[in-house]
Amino acid sequence: MKLATSCPSCGKAITLWRIMAAPTPFHLSCKACKSNLRLQNSPKGVIIAGAVIIAIVGIGLGLLWHSKHISTYTGIAITVAVASISELVASFYVIYKGELVAKDEPKDEPKDGALDA
């Protein structure tokens, strides 16, 4: 199982735990060279689907708690479990499918000196 990816700037390993510790998968930094990184190929559909799933679980938990079918502590435990699993899945996505690039690198440069006019 692959638990790390490499920094595009210095080539050092960026571990699963480093990715999970980032506020979002779009705000990563390399511990070795301090380079700010971003995710190059992030499918917006996957991100939106994840947010919708988390919202549905949250609404469902709120309704269950409000109707007294679950206790406050059970609701908190389920919320923490869903958030942790979502964070783990997002981190594995970055490692297996993500392409990290340094934030200061341009996305696309004109080739052969061609300029948009």
Q: Which two tokens stand for residue 110?
A: 């004109």
Per-residue pLDDT of the chain (117 residues; tens, 9 = 90+): 888 888 888 889 988 888 888 877 677 888 888 888 887 776 676 677 777 878 888 788 888 877 877 787 887 888 788 888 888 887 888 888 878 888 765 444 445 555 554
- The DSSP output letter for 27 is S
Tell which residue, 14, 43, 4, 1, has the closest CA to residue 102: 14
